[in-house]
Amino acid sequence: MVFSKRLEFLYAPLQNSDFYPDGVVDEYRYAQSSPRVLYLLKEVNHHPEDRKVEGPFDLREFLREHIEWYASKDKAFRMWRNASKYLYGIFHGFPPFAHVDSLPSQQLADILRQVAFVNVKKSAGSAKSYWPDVYKEGTSSQALWPKQVHLFDPDIILCGGTFSIAEQLIPQKSQEQVGPLSFFVDKWERVYVDFYHPATWHKARELIYDELRVCMQRVSQFIRSSE
């Protein structure tokens, strides 16, 4: 399962100053993980007017560097720290959140290596997304993210505030509600979960983690790699 060449083929027509590539952080780790997880996010927070960083921005390269910083300095942006804890639960059977919250930063940072991170909107964004623009680009017939999903072929897609976009473009076989979360299974047997953006601050992380734990008990019955 090697994505690089095929992914660059998808990206080639879009290479310009306002295109922000994303995808798998570590292809080998992603291919070996069970289940394979893709976090479907809105847009990259890297608008030229908001950032002093110049030049092209690649989310994959950013995360590779940020993971090293997270692991060595025990520092990370809130959204990636939160994401690592929710993802740790998925890969390790949801131990108590207090345990996950106290894990060494190296262990949590390493979790991010085995996940794909994809934005539905590939152009510049900022810390506060403008939803009409995100929705318009994400649901466009020219949207790139569904092709990335087919290429990466995850078992689980965590929709971080993007579930309504996925509902518009992805053919569904079934949909269920589990507490405050819902999910649907597409015709390729992939599971899309209506989850929170990892930067969400209006609900306690422990509650979010527990909601995901309960939802995943049901979702696990549909995961292809567990059959």
Could you give phi then psi for residue 222, rounded to 5 degrees?
-110, -5
Write out pLDDT tens, residues 163-199: 999 999 999 999 999 999 999 999 999 999 999 999 9
16 by DSSP, 3-state: which? Answer: coil
Residue 87 in any domain: the answer is: yes
Query: The CATH number of the domain where 200 resides is what?
Result: 3.40.470
Residue 133 in any domain: the answer is: yes
Confidence at residue 203, expressed as pLDDT on a 0 to 100 scale: 93
For residue 82, with 0-12 CB atoms within 10 Å meaning exposed, 13-18 middle and 19 or more buried, which class applies? buried
pLDDT-derived band of residue 7, with 50, 70 and 90 as boundaries? confident
Residue 185 in any domain: the answer is: yes
Residue 208 in any domain: the answer is: yes
Sign of the dihedral defined by the CA atoms of residues 129, 202, 114, 216, in that order: negative
Quote the CA–CA distance of 67 and 73 in Å, as a whole number.
10
Write out pLDDT tens, residues 74-91: 777 889 999 999 999 999
Q: What is the mean pLDDT of residues 17-39?
A: 92
Quote the CA–CA distance of 169 and 3 in Å, as a whole number.
22
Is 128 a residue whose pLDDT tops 70? no
Residue 10 in any domain: the answer is: no
Is 70 a residue whose pLDDT tops 90? no
Confidence at residue 50, expressed as pLDDT on a 0 to 100 scale: 44
Residue 69 in any domain: the answer is: yes
Helix H or strand E segment including 219: helix 205-219
Whole-structure pTM value = 0.91
Q: And the tokens for 160? A: 């971080």
Confidence at residue 188, expressed as pLDDT on a 0 to 100 scale: 95
Confidence at residue 131, expressed as pLDDT on a 0 to 100 scale: 82
Quote the CA–CA distance of 21 and 10 in Å, as a whole number.
10
Number of domains in the chain: 1
Q: With contact defined as beta carbons under 8 Å apart, do 43 and 136 qualify?
A: no
pLDDT-derived band of residue 218, with 50, 70 and 90 as boundaries? very high
Residue 6 in any domain: the answer is: no
pLDDT-derived band of residue 54, with 50, 70 and 90 as boundaries? low
Which domain range does residue 72 map to?
Answer: 25-48+56-226
Confidence at residue 227, expressed as pLDDT on a 0 to 100 scale: 43
Query: 73: Cβ–Cβ under 8 A, 6 or more apart, which residues?
Result: 105
Helix H or strand E segment including 119: strand 115-119
Quote the CA–CA distance of 88 and 129 in Å, as a whole number.
26
pLDDT-derived band of residue 49, with 50, 70 and 90 as boundaries? very low
Residue 142 in any domain: the answer is: yes
Q: What is the mean pLDDT of residues 14-36?
A: 89
